[in-house]
Chains A and B, each alone.
Chain A
Amino acid sequence: MKNNKLNISGAEALIRSLLEEGVDLLFGYPGGAIMPVYDELYKFSDKINHILTRHEQGATHAAQGYARSSGKVGVAIATSGPGATNLVTGIADAQIDSTPIVCITGQVASHLLGSDAFQETDIIGISTPVTKWNYQITKASEIPDIVSKAFYIASTGRPGPVLIDITKDAQFEFCDYNYKKCNGIRSYLPVPQLQNEQIAEAAKVINSSKKPLIVWGQGVILAEAENEFKEFVENSGIPAVWTILGLSALPTEHPLNMGMVGMHGNYGPNVLTNECDVLIAVGMRFDDRVTGDLNTYAKQAKIVHLEIDPAEISKNVFAHYPILGDCKQSLKKLSNLVNKKSLNSWIGLFDNHMKIEYKSVIEKDLFPSKDGLTMGEVINSINKHSKGDAIIVTDVGQHQMVACRYAKFNSSKSNITSGGLGTMGFALPAAIGAKIGAPHREVVAVIGDGGYQMTIQELGTIFQTKTAVKIVVLNNDYLGMVRQWQQLFFDKRYASTEMVNPDFVKIAEGYSIQASRVSDREDLDNAVKLLIESKDAFFLEVCVEKEDNVFPMIPTGASVSDIRLE
């Protein structure tokens, strides 16, 4: 495609710019102020596909799912006013979970800006605190450079969402189009220069440690450093634990993968965080759900922090040995400097804790003796039939914690969930994006009955696009996580957490999606088997025990070592 052309409309310049960035797919919803762009999308429909979601929030979550499963930049597009404000939740989610997306919004014509025109809203002002960068275009000639800059910013360094707001007159206006790919911005250093001294010093302290612990996060996945990370773990022989967004970067069955940290993480990883002597944090940001009470978090340990974003160094936990830079590079260098350790007794402690957790929690979750179905056994059945090869997309709440605790993953970019923002309604649209971003992979959305109904309209998108997403709703007729907190911390006053739910099977069938419901253990395995084997989209509702709780649990404000098993 020619990267320059005389006298074309701003809208056409936008589509050509997107094509230059390798975009062949947008998620979006049309409306008045973005119509010139949609008109061009119609003309370019052989080159660029548009997926009509049923709500703009769905477009951003789908773009996120697409970005997380494919590693590419997701694109969402909407009109001005309510179209733009509906994007905001997805943008905020992408910001806190460092997901590269570019959002394009239409805006009222420039002469109307500030006049409270129909569907005018200050989306630049609104999105500023939740975007990595944003920009309002009022002249067609700005479009190529700004699009190029937007993709560069969204995808480099620590990725994040970028929003471009384009006034309607700029979409109509004619300009001479000339596309140049952005390869640098003078005020923006995406990747800090590696400092070999930092790596050498960290290697020294790691080599002298007796009880080192690696905690890895999504940074490993975003840097595409899975191989370098695995090599580092294996070269050093150090046990490794993960944050919820780091999950799947190292296969579940890897012998040094010791499980999850954080509020509903595994027993050993949490307790032993407060016993390690060196804590090596890789691409993670010490979220409060990971650390619990900061005053009692790993105080005995020297902290090594591999991080791309300088603002994360010592933000929550003081880093004695920061290693700034891209962890793909720093891990490689560090691997060469660390000695293989024999840490049998230290690793033995993880095994001991796992035995305790298995007996008091895991066994009951996965192989229950009571009548009611548990969320854990559903995940276990998905593991069995997907053989650990599926992408599992989760929403927010109990089902999310259970899925992340028990899902098995063989390969990276397989766990897609709303981590930092905790956005209910994320999973269904994100699963659509994930499936389109990785069409050859099985995508299973595991969702609670509450979150499902926040974006249930996206069943329409599945219906229309025939995207083969598998949907599992774990229905306990409660907003389960809030109910659990009410039970434990509010004397069982279940304020507004009980849900009277519709017939989910009928709703799915209304969209011509195959659907089934299970409430007995003897039917579960076969139902999951049919779900996974289906070539098309499939909906499965599992009626689980109403008042099950997720354990282990670190109560808010408690120390990670005070994790409760019941």
Chain B
Amino acid sequence: MEEKIQYTISIYSENNVGLLNRVSAIFLKRHVNIMSFSTSQSEIKDVFRFVIVVSVTEIQIKKLVQQIEKQVDVIKAFYHTDKETIFLESALYKVKSSSLFEERQIQNIIKDSHANIVTVSPKFFVIEKTGFRKDTEKLREDLSKYGLLQFVRSGRISVTKAPMGISQILNNFKNQNKKNE
């Protein structure tokens, strides 16, 4: 059996209702679990970007990306290994305000982790930490001793080291259309 490794899939697409469902159905059909998923505006106006992380074999990732790219509303899809991308995740930690004053250690944890305090109120405060999984995970472990009220981590966001060339694809289409007119 070929080894499964972590791949980041980047999708550039139209922002249409239902596309998310269409993309996730491709994973469902092949019984592949999605480890992380995020969507946002991309660098190009009206073009959306998905970042999806899965752990699969190289053969599988190629086929998944081929199927994703086949979708009418998908402009282009790529896959990259961790080495080929710059990536991170954000996490929020909600802690009781009282513990900040009662447990001196907690202040050191926050300082050492280079986390930011987002909000402080009489009842709770919220810390934000952005980085690799191991960093946000370590902070979660450290804080959990003092009672985490809430914890949430975002999906991975990443940019690739190599250029994506989406504007080129869209320009080619525009020029092609001009020719047709």
A residues touching B (Cβ–Cβ < 8 Å)? Answer: 124-125, 128-129, 132-136, 153, 183-188, 309-311, 313-315
Contacting residues of chain B (40-69) with chain A, CB-CB under 8 angstroms: 62-63, 66-67, 69
Distance of A244 Cα from B4 Cα, bound (Å)? 36
Q: How far is the CB of B126 from chain A (nearest CB, A)?
A: 33
Q: How far is the CB of A497 from chain B (nearest CB, A)?
A: 30
**With A184-B180, A186-B75 given, is the CB distance from A310 to B69 under 8 Å?**
yes
What's the interface size class on B, roughly?
20 to 34
Q: A187 contacts B180, CB within 8 Å? A: no
Chain B residues touching A, majority SS: helix
With a CB–CB cut-off of 8 A, which chain B residues contact A185? 72
> Can you spell out 7 A-B residue pairs with CB atoms less than 8 angstroms apart?
A124-B18, A184-B173, A186-B75, A310-B69, A311-B63, A311-B66, A315-B63
Q: A128 contacts B21, CB within 8 Å? A: yes
Distance of A136 Cα from B18 Cα, bound (Å)? 9
Q: Choose one: A153, A183, A313; the contact of B180 (CB below 8 Å).
A: A183
Distance of A314 Cα from B63 Cα, bound (Å)? 9
With CB as the reference atom, state the residue of chain B lying closest to A309. B70
With a CB–CB cut-off of 8 A, which chain B residues contact A309? 70
With a CB–CB cut-off of 8 A, which chain A residues contact B62? 314
Distance of A136 Cα from B21 Cα, bound (Å)? 14
Count A-B contacts at CB 8 Å: 53
With a CB–CB cut-off of 8 A, which chain A residues contact B14? 187
Q: B180 contacts A188, CB within 8 Å? A: no
Q: A125 contacts B176, CB within 8 Å? A: no
Q: B22 contacts A184, CB within 8 Å? A: no
Q: B72 contacts A188, CB within 8 Å? A: yes
With a CB–CB cut-off of 8 A, which chain A residues contact B170? 186
Distance of A153 Cα from B70 Cα, bound (Å)? 12
Q: How far is the CB of A454 from chain B (nearest CB, A)?
A: 25
B25 located at the interface, meaning its Cβ lies under 8 Å from any Cβ of chain A in the complex:
yes
With CB as the reference atom, state the residue of chain A lying closest to B171. A186
Q: How far is the CB of A237 from chain B (nearest CB, A)?
A: 34
Q: Which of B14, B70, B74 has the most CB of A within 10 A?
A: B70
Q: How far is the CB of A205 from chain B (nearest CB, A)?
A: 23
Q: A310 contacts B74, CB within 8 Å? A: no
B10 located at the interface, meaning its Cβ lies under 8 Å from any Cβ of chain A in the complex:
no
With a CB–CB cut-off of 8 A, which chain B residues contact A132? 72
Q: A310 contacts B29, CB within 8 Å? A: no
Q: How far is the CB of A10 from chain B (nearest CB, A)?
A: 18
With CB as the reference atom, state the residue of chain A lying closest to B64. A311
Distance of A124 Cα from B62 Cα, bound (Å)? 27
With CB as the reference atom, state the residue of chain A lying closest to B70. A311
Q: Choose one: B21, B28, B70, B75; the contact of A310 (CB below 8 Å).
A: B70
Q: A125 contacts B21, CB within 8 Å? A: yes
Q: B18 contacts A129, CB within 8 Å? A: no
Given contacts A128-B25, A136-B17, A314-B62, 16 further A-B contacts (CB under 8 A): A124-B18, A124-B21, A128-B22, A129-B22, A134-B18, A135-B18, A183-B180, A184-B173, A186-B170, A187-B75, A188-B72, A188-B73, A309-B70, A311-B66, A311-B69, A311-B70
